[in-house]
């Protein structure tokens, strides 16, 4: 009899706990958070915690930083944290969401995290080029259940690629509007091109890279893909899916003469293997790289460095809206570089409604 009563009480208590959990989860979604986009020129008087986060972010000048948001609890009218999006250099269609919350109350902190994970990824998923949002939960008060309840799952690919992150909790959520893709960019308009992150373990990529190293016009770019420098942001092998062959290379670098700007300008480098030239590939690569950078708010300015005698590339850049960059031109002359710097501004491109 006593055992039966104990069993009944256990069932009752479990049911009550489930009801309480459902009730607590339902109340978590009712908090009102406001996400204020932060720029270096913001003059708000934030508290010391927020200022410390902003200062740290600006000191690090994270090369992959896209944008950051100051989080405000509208119920209490207080700022409670900072969130930022940064690119994952190995995949340009993936972004990492970093979260910092000042709240010490675990229940409130849990509530804030849930609101952020439920809502903030949508800001990036509204963009057709963003395929994945990644989070790394560093807060000991937040467990993996919260990530799973918000649609995130443990990312085995990231776990395998970054073995030094074994102790970290890395999860990702894929864009429901897009199919699963392992490539960096979507198709361009005139060619069925995709941009693959270079993987030295793939034999076909190594064979193509060796071919590029043998050609005078592509050897320098191939060398940079194989041996990237500190300012290399991302490197790709470009494939035309219609013929199933790699046809060129594309490299993104930080604009080394314009460090400190947020977002930092990007320099685009690209090359097409000799046998695939005069088919419009070069223009297609450049156009899609620029559109991707601007569409994803990665930068406000794209730079090119064109050899002085390369009139074909110079004219092609001008037709796409690039103009002589007078500031960098003076720097190039002083340092003896035989390149013509060209640049394209996002504001000018969009204000003229000119899409490439």
95 pLDDT tier (thresholds 50, 70, 90): confident
Q: Which residues on neighbouring strands pair with residue 72, listed in sequence order?
A: 34, 79
pTM for the model: 0.53
Token digits of residue 352: 């003229």
pLDDT tens-digit profile of 63-91? 567 788 989 999 888 888 889 888 775 56
User: What's residue 131's pLDDT?
Assistant: 77
Mean pLDDT to the nearest integer, 10-24: 42
Domains of the chain: 31-174 (3.40.630.30), 193-351 (3.40.630.30)
Token digits of residue 338: 């035989």
Reported as half-sphere exposure (CB side, CA atoms, 13 A), residue 269 has a value of: 24
In this predicted structure, the answer to whether residue 215 has a pLDDT above a threshold of 90 is yes
pLDDT tens-digit profile of 257-308? 665 566 678 889 999 999 998 888 888 888 888 887 887 777 888 988 887 7
How far CA 303 is from CA of 4, 46, 266, in Å, comes to 76, 35, 6
């Amino acid at each position: 009899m006593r055992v039966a009563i104990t069993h009944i009480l256990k069932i009752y208590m479990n049911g009550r706990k489930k009801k309480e959990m459902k009730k607590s989860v339902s109340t978590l979604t009712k908090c009102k958070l406001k996400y204020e986009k932060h720029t270096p020129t913001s003059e708000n008087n934030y508290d010391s915690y927020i200022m410390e986060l902003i200062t740290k972010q600006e000191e690090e000048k994270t090369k992959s930083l896209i944008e950051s948001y100051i989080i405000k609890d509208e119920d209490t009218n207080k700022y409670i944290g900072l969130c930022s999006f940064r690119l994952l250099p190995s995949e340009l269609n993936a972004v990492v969401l970093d979260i910092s919350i000042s709240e010490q109350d675990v229940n409130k902190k849990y509530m804030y995290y849930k609101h952020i994970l439920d809502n903030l990824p949508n800001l990036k998923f509204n963009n057709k080029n963003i395929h994945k949002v990644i989070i790394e939960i560093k807060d000991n008060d937040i467990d993996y259940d919260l990530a799973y309840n918000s649609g995130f799952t443990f990312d085995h690919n990231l776990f395998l690629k970054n073995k030094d992150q074994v102790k970290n909790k890395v999860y990702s959520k894929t864009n429901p509007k897009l199919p699963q893709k392992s490539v960096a960019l979507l198709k361009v308009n005139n060619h069925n091109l995709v941009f693959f992150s270079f993987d030295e373990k793939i034999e076909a990529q190594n064979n193509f890279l060796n071919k590029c190293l043998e050609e005078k016009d592509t050897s320098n770019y191939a060398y940079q893909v194989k041996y990237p420098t500190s300012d290399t942001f991302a490197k790709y092998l470009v494939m035309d899916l219609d013929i199933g062959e790699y046809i060129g290379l594309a490299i993104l670098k930080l604009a080394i003469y314009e460090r400190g700007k947020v977002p930092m300008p990007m320099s685009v480098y690209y090359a097409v293997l000799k046998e695939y030239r005069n088919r419009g590939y070069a223009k297609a690569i450049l156009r899609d790289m620029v559109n991707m950078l601007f569409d994803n708010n990665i930068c406000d300015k794209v730079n090119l460095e064109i050899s002085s005698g390369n009139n074909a590339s110079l004219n092609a850049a001008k037709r796409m809206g690039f103009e002589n960059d007078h500031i960098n031109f003076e720097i190039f002359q002083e340092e003896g570089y035989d390149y013509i710097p060209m640049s394209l501004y996002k504001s000018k491109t969009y204000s003229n409604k000119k899409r490439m």
